[in-house]
Amino acid sequence: MTALGAIIRRDIRIALRVGGGALVGVLFFLTVVVLMPFAVGPDLKLLQRLGPAILWLGALLASLLTLDRLFTADAEDGSLDLIVMSRTPLELTCAAKAFAHWLAAGLPLIVATPVLGLLLNLDGMASLAVMATLLAGTPALTFTGMIGAALAVTLRRGGLLLAVLVLPLSIPVLIFGVAASQAAIVGPVPFGTPFSILCALSLASLVIGPFAAAASLRHGLD
Amino acid sequence: MFDGLDVEAAGGEALALVGHNGAGKTSLLRLIAGLLAPAAGTITFDGGEPDTPVAEQAHYLGHRDALKPSLSVTENLAFWREFLGGEPTDLPAAIEAVGLAHAAELPAAYLSAGQRRRLSIARLLVVRRPIWLLDEPTSALDVRGQEAFGRLMSDHLAGGGLIIAATHSPLGIAAREMRIGAAA
């Protein structure tokens, strides 16, 4: 549908331009991961053990950082009214916006992972494992986070509320993401088990997120 | 908010909603646009596409401009033309019609308030829709801008379109007035 393509291209274009927010997430991710070895100390074995967890935590916080503007920007300038009025179902538009957000803010995190893995003493195999789990898991973070983003539109000063609502939904993704990474690096659990659950979480959120977000946006119109 | 409200408007006709601030002009427009759910009552559009909600056959020009500051004038309009679908028209002609041809590649952030209003008016021109729901359409415009918009509205009415506008100042075209709320 050309309307959805238009929304995705517009959102990515806005995110990539100056002040757009695509860079903010990556810089935050970078900051967290760069500071961690200084905080933990020069224990290389410990850093290697913590590596996947640190990368996952940084990616989670970075992707949630820019998510609260997902719908509030459109609500504030009046675009949301026109989006709701259009013939494109609101659920699909919400999904398209979340997909654009993942492309502009989530993919750069995944691309940055191998480089940052070096800082945490992770070898190639470990970095690859973390990248794969991030690829499977960051959509879940974005699509569950969009529910909070939609609620943040209705409840004006909702920044903190967004975190409170979305964090519990993100925790299973974090657990299985790190578990899958560890399974690939050290075992003994086969990689497939936590990875399939991670994929299942992502797929479920791809459906639930847009419907919940659209319902919340419609309810909040005044 | 409204009780026993009966509004009728026909093609080629302009209806001006007048009333003091807070009377409910904006709310009525948003009701017609489908952005507010009525507690009771119906809104029907005879002669339009059947089984299509009024919202999809109407342009809504609200108080806010629905413009992205980091996108250029052309990019903003091209997005709405693609997103709104339906019958598209010539983009440069629409930009020309609102007098923004010289600023076509400028980011919307650099436009003045009047220019931003003109740009959101251009949105009404890039996709043809029969109903225009306008909320204080000429608020930020200078005299020339108001006259130009008056001509655009006349063209729309001449083509069989319908305009319902909430306004404090005269629209600049022949319009039937409807008072919302108690007389002052």
pLDDT of residue B77: 94
Residue pLDDT, tens place only, B66-110: 999 999 999 999 999 999 988 888 899 999 999 999 999 999 999
Does A87 sit within 8 Å of B70, measured CB to CB?
no
C-alpha span between A215 and A90 (Å, rounded): 9
Q: Of A160-174, A189-203, B41-55, B115-129, where does mean pLDDT reach its minimum?
A: B41-55
Does A78 sit within 8 Å of B62, measured CB to CB?
yes
Q: Of B41-45, B64-68, B119-123, where does mean pLDDT reach its minimum?
A: B41-45
Q: Which residues of A70-84 are buried (b: 16+ CB within 10 A; e: fewer)?
A: bbbbbbebbbbbbbb
Does A7 sit within 8 Å of B66, measured CB to CB?
no
pLDDT of residue A44: 86
Q: Which of these, A126, A99, A111, A88, lies nearest to A25 by C-alpha position?
A: A111
Query: Which of the residues A81, A84, A217 would you substitute to probe the B interface, choosing the one with the greatest number of B C-beta atoms within 10 Å?
Result: A81
Residues 16-55 of B with CB under 8 A from A: 30, 33-36, 52, 55
pLDDT of residue A137: 95
Does B35 sit within 8 Å of A6, measured CB to CB?
no
Amino acid at site A159? G
C-alpha span between B157 and A82 (Å, rounded): 22
Instruction: Identify the burial level of A149 via C-beta atoms within 10 angstroms of its C-beta, where 0-12 means exposed, 13-18 middle and 19 or more buried.
Output: buried
pLDDT of residue A94: 96
pLDDT of residue B184: 46
| Stated length of chain A | 222
C-alpha span between A63 and A69 (Å, rounded): 12
CB B154 within 8 A of CB B184: no
- Distances in whole angstroms, Cα of residue B28 to Cα of each of B9, B166, B167: 14, 9, 13
Question: Above 50 in pLDDT, residue B139?
Answer: yes
Does B65 sit within 8 Å of A77, measured CB to CB?
yes
The closest CB to that of A3, out of B55, B70, B83, belongs to B83
Estimate to the nearest angstrom the gap between the alpha carbon of B59 and the chain centroid. Answer: 5
Question: Above 60 in pLDDT, residue B136?
Answer: yes
**B56 in contact with chain A, both atoms CB, cutoff 8 A:** yes
Alpha helices in A17-158 (DSSP H): 22-40, 44-65, 69-77, 79-85, 90-101, 107-119, 124-154
Strand partners, B127: B88
User: What mean pLDDT value characterizes chain B?
Assistant: 87
Estimate to the nearest angstrom the gap between the alpha carbon of A196 and the chain centroid. Answer: 18
| Tens-binned pLDDT, residue by residue, of chain A (222 aa) | 789 999 999 999 999 887 767 788 889 999 999 998 899 888 888 888 899 999 999 999 888 888 888 898 899 899 999 999 999 999 999 999 999 999 999 999 999 999 998 888 888 888 999 999 999 999 999 999 999 889 888 776 666 777 788 889 899 999 999 999 999 888 788 888 999 999 999 999 999 999 999 999 988 876
Rounded to two decimals, the ipTM of the complex is: 0.90
The maximal CA–CA distance of chain B, rounded, in angstroms, is 49
**B58 in contact with chain A, both atoms CB, cutoff 8 A:** yes
C-alpha span between A129 and A178 (Å, rounded): 10
**A81 in contact with chain B, both atoms CB, cutoff 8 A:** yes
Estimate to the nearest angstrom the gap between the alpha carbon of B29 and the chain centroid. Answer: 10
**B83 in contact with chain A, both atoms CB, cutoff 8 A:** yes
Q: Please report residues of A whose CB lies closer than 8 A to that of B70.
A: 13-14, 17-20
Closest chain B C-alpha to A96 CA, distance in angstroms: 12
**B132 in contact with chain A, both atoms CB, cutoff 8 A:** no
Nearest CA in chain A to B38: A222
Q: Which of these, A117, A139, A135, lies nearest to A126 by C-alpha position?
A: A117
Closest chain B C-alpha to A64 CA, distance in angstroms: 22
Question: Above 60 in pLDDT, residue B183?
Answer: no
